[in-house]
Amino acid sequence: MGMFEVDPKGLRKLLAGRDYGFIINELAQNAFDEEGVTDLTIEVRPIEGKRQVQVLVSDNSPNGFRRLSDAWTLFAESYKKGNPLQRGRFDLGEKLVISLCKRAEIVTTTGAVRFENNKRSTLRRKREQGTLVSLWVPATKAQHEELLTAAHRLIPPTGVTVTLNGENLHTTRPIHTFKAKLPTVNVDEEGQLRPSERIAEVQVYEAEESGAWLYEMGIPVVPIKATWTLDVQQKIPLNMDRDNVTASFRRKLYAHTLNAMAQDLPKEDAAKPWVVEGTGAKEIEPEAMSTVFDKSMGEKRVIYDPSDPEANMTAVSKGHTLVRGNQLSEGQRRNMRRFRDAGRDPLPPAGRVCPTGRPYSDDPNAPMVEVIPPSKYTERQKKVVAMAKYVFGQIVNEEVSTQNGKLSVRIVNTTNSFAACFGSGRMDLNVMRLGHSFFNGTDQHSLERVLRIFVHEFAHHYSGNHLSEAYHDGLTRLGVRLSTRVKRGVYRRYGYQLS
């Protein structure tokens, strides 16, 4: 007597509610794994007067079942499990199928066996080639449809013709194929299944109307919420029921799919969960991630830059999509940091794309600033400085305390990016950026240019952020005061000719 006994009734109850498609899948995968198979014939027909269907599956393998005892021996050593290009590994599937049947017969090149009334008996029959599996299965109309649907869903290997109830099933062709290093299973020296990785071909198909599927070498495994159906041409890590994979495997597969198919990804799919999963995997390539972001966020996009708050709003004002870190998954953020360190950034920070001019920096390597002494001012520079102090006194001084109640003005020369800057009662005018024409012009256009700089800088008394409401309000307030308080005759005092 063996160590274990199996109660078929109990096993049958465990399978209650399972999609009957697994019956077709298990028998088809056995046939696809055999050498020399070119034809697989499937018949699924209701039995008149009974709530049953008869399922017949036959192939033309020259060898048939190598060991007839495999039909009833659970977890026998399978010759397939060490080959990543064959589907079998557990030597379990046909036993689950048989447990559902009122009656089952297997006829192959090495003999025949019948299973009925929870008993097994051998038959004096053989086939010259291939195997015929005959099943009498209790089934509802819905389960009958599940069997037919499963047969239509098969993707046979190249060179294998599948017929269902006498009609050739249409052979679907992939729209694309690519190679990727993916997890698989293999056996060690002791014959134990071990995880491993190898490069496999992945075939990409249009999804069904009902959705996409993950396949293992032509056998559907589990529906996936992806844009395409994906058929991996090697063993994939499956659970015991052969109807699911690990989240890590799915994530890797999605990443490799995007690396190959990002250009073809519909724009409306670019933010779907499967794409987020794939772009969060370490296998994603920066070019694929960038293409996905082009479609989900737009080609003009930046990520929020806490080191330069004003740059964020400047980027928005220039038509960029501003993305905050919490809009990305943890994996996406990790990849962003990795790509940025490598100089291949699919989502640059706002401060890099729209940097805010920073007058002075604590960076010891920042450009030097030359402060020009007043004794070296030209006559025109003296007038511009004097007018700055006068205008400040008229439109701002009442709201801010400055040293001695007056504005301090310096003329500086530096390669820093600012033209002028204001803060704490002091304004610096950078002759390197403004140019000598800023000081030397005497026409009305030159005057307006000078006043624009003054009003722009003095409005920073209200806010340092150019795009804030406070700064906008300050500009408006100073503009009104400039027009109502500063007389035209005063301009002439500083040497401007008004038209």
- Do 134 and 200 sit in the same domain of this protein? no
CATH number for 127: 3.30.565.10
- Do 221 and 331 sit in the same domain of this protein? yes
Residue 41, in any domain of the structure: yes
- Do 195 and 341 sit in the same domain of this protein? yes
- Residue 10: phi, psi to the nearest 5? -65, -40
- pLDDT computed for residue 120 by the predictor: 85
- pLDDT computed for residue 1 by the predictor: 44
Tokens found for residue 499: 């038209």
- Do 159 and 182 sit in the same domain of this protein? no
Residue 2, in any domain of the structure: no
Residue 462's CB is within 10 A of a number of other CB atoms, namely 20
- What percentage of the chain carries pLDDT values higher than 70? 85
Residue 122, in any domain of the structure: yes
- pLDDT computed for residue 75 by the predictor: 43
- Residue 158: phi, psi to the nearest 5? -55, 130
| Residue 497 confidence class, pLDDT cut points 50, 70, 90 | confident
Residue 217, in any domain of the structure: yes
Integer CA distances (angstroms), 148 to 49, 54, 154, 196, 223, in order: 20, 12, 10, 35, 17
| Residue 309 confidence class, pLDDT cut points 50, 70, 90 | confident
Q: What is the pLDDT of residues 335-391, one digit of tens each?
A: 999 998 877 889 999 988 988 766 766 656 666 789 999 999 999 999 999 999 999
- pLDDT computed for residue 396 by the predictor: 86
Domain boundary among 305, 321, 353: 353
Residue 61, in any domain of the structure: yes
Tell me: pLDDT of 300 over 60. yes
Interacting residues of 266 by C-beta distance below 8 A, sequence separation 6+: 227, 295
Mean pLDDT, the chain, integer: 86
- pLDDT computed for residue 403 by the predictor: 47
- Do 271 and 315 sit in the same domain of this protein? yes
CA gap 230, 236 in Å, rounded: 12
- For the residues 191-207, what does the mean pLDDT come to? 86
- Do 200 and 301 sit in the same domain of this protein? yes
- pLDDT computed for residue 464 by the predictor: 76
- Do 44 and 160 sit in the same domain of this protein? yes
- Do 37 and 73 sit in the same domain of this protein? yes
Domain boundary among 353, 385, 407: 353
Amino acid at 219: I
Residue 160, in any domain of the structure: yes
CATH number for 456: 3.30.2010
- Do 206 and 260 sit in the same domain of this protein? yes
| Residue 397: domain span | 370-493
- Do 29 and 140 sit in the same domain of this protein? yes
Tell me: pLDDT of 93 over 80. no
- pLDDT computed for residue 74 by the predictor: 45
Residue 499, in any domain of the structure: no
- For the residues 96-102, what does the mean pLDDT come to? 84
Residue 347, in any domain of the structure: yes
Q: What is the pLDDT of residues 130-165, one digit of tens each?
A: 889 999 999 999 999 999 999 999 999 999 999 999
Domain boundary among 168, 203, 220: 168
Count of domains forming the chain: 3
- Do 451 and 305 sit in the same domain of this protein? no
CA gap 7, 290 in Å, rounded: 56
- pLDDT computed for residue 385 by the predictor: 94
Q: Where are the alpha helices (DSSP H) in 230-378?
A: 247-261, 273-279, 286-297, 309-317, 330-341, 350-353
Global confidence as pTM: 0.75
- Do 183 and 163 sit in the same domain of this protein? no
